[in-house]
Structure 1
């Protein structure tokens, strides 16, 4: 059921990215790895990371940590019908949404988060859902051609599919972009490249050691 072992970000400045994600996620995150790469890329890379937290105070704490570590604000934290949250862009270009469905704090504020989600922006949600289902991923939630979420165990990386333009609009950027996604997913679907050129590596046979 754990479809993703780790999210691997390919970054131009490995040392700088390591400092940023250590400040945001902690130095021993099991969810993320970094890999040096100078592969050309411009604009929206077609994916976002999302940290789902339990209360607004935690969202504010994580957003502040990200901004203090060099992130750029794309959407300042604010209340909405669905809850509270904001969007930042890491120094390496990765877009991170930090949000909660809660409207008020119910406990001590911290930088803890409950879910680590990678959302892939794809051209055809239904076709990509079938692509992954054929490779062993189990669909947890499906809303036609708009959104798909794959089942995963607690504490593991969650994978979702969203229309590319819808995902870009949600985080406040243009959907235009060229070149590499600068993203590699390690998990049960790999090794493969999906319909939108997202790359997967095979699952590691041993537990992963995070590099950030």
Structure 2
């Protein structure tokens, strides 16, 4: 009988690789930020200007933990894009890593129910796309399963295996507005995804590689 975890790993996002100009500096930053186990890094000099089209988002337990992660990122060299604030959905803010990658840190809680921690509940990779429905169908046709979908605004895929990052789709301009940056951008996305759809390039130019073969028996 097929192993359920192995099957899930074969039909979900298996890895997220950020392409960075300074590999050593990026490694140091992501260790200090506390997210180094969620991503892989690769040296690249690919040209990239403006909004790269995606955001990596951390969901944590409460406002104090949000503040702690944002402070750690800024102390390690990140740029504060949006200070953490309360909203209808909770509390959160945005930073941009020294390599240019935008990160959101948020919680659905508006008040702390305990002390700040360095624990992460979920990491989501939000790809900004022009047509959520069309791109969703592209991925479904290549083996991914939809976990949640809200019309043409948002789609989230089932995660599985050892990879802790959830893949989701969001409207490109809405994602840029959320970040507080202009939606225009040129050149490389500076991100490479690994998993079932690869090797391929999706309708919005995001590059996928085939997942590395599992060494598990």
Q: TM-score, normalised by structure 2?
A: 0.91
2:116 equivalent in structure 1 = 109
Gaps of 5+ in 1: 208-212
**CA distance in structure 1 between the aligned counterparts of 2:108 and 2:102, rounded to whole angstroms:** 20
1:126 is the counterpart of 2:133:
yes
1:4 is the counterpart of 2:13:
yes
2:22 equivalent in structure 1 = 13
**CA distance in structure 2 between the aligned counterparts of 1:181 and 1:141, rounded to whole angstroms:** 25
| Pairs within 5 Å for 1:170-209 | 170-206=178-214
Give per-residue Cα distances to partners, 1:123-161, cap 9 Å, x unaligned: 111000000000110001111111101111497210110
Give per-residue Cα distances to partners, 1:18-43, cap 9 Å, x unaligned: 1110111255x1x2000000000100
1:144 equivalent in structure 2 = 151
3-state SS of paired residue (2:67): helix
Q: TM-score, normalised by structure 1?
A: 0.93
2:3 equivalent in structure 1 = none
Shift of 1:52: 0.6
Contact 1:59 / 1:111 at 8 angstroms: preserved in 2?
A: no
Contact 1:58 / 1:113 at 8 angstroms: preserved in 2?
A: no
**CA distance in structure 1 between the aligned counterparts of 2:17 and 2:166, rounded to whole angstroms:** 14
Gaps of 5+ in 2: 1-7
Question: Aligned pair count?
Answer: 205
**CA distance in structure 2 between the aligned counterparts of 1:113 and 1:26, rounded to whole angstroms:** 9
| Pairs within 5 Å for 1:20-169 | 20-25=29-34, 29=37, 31-153=38-160, 156-169=164-177
**CA distance in structure 2 between the aligned counterparts of 1:47 and 1:26, rounded to whole angstroms:** 17
3-state SS of paired residue (1:167): helix
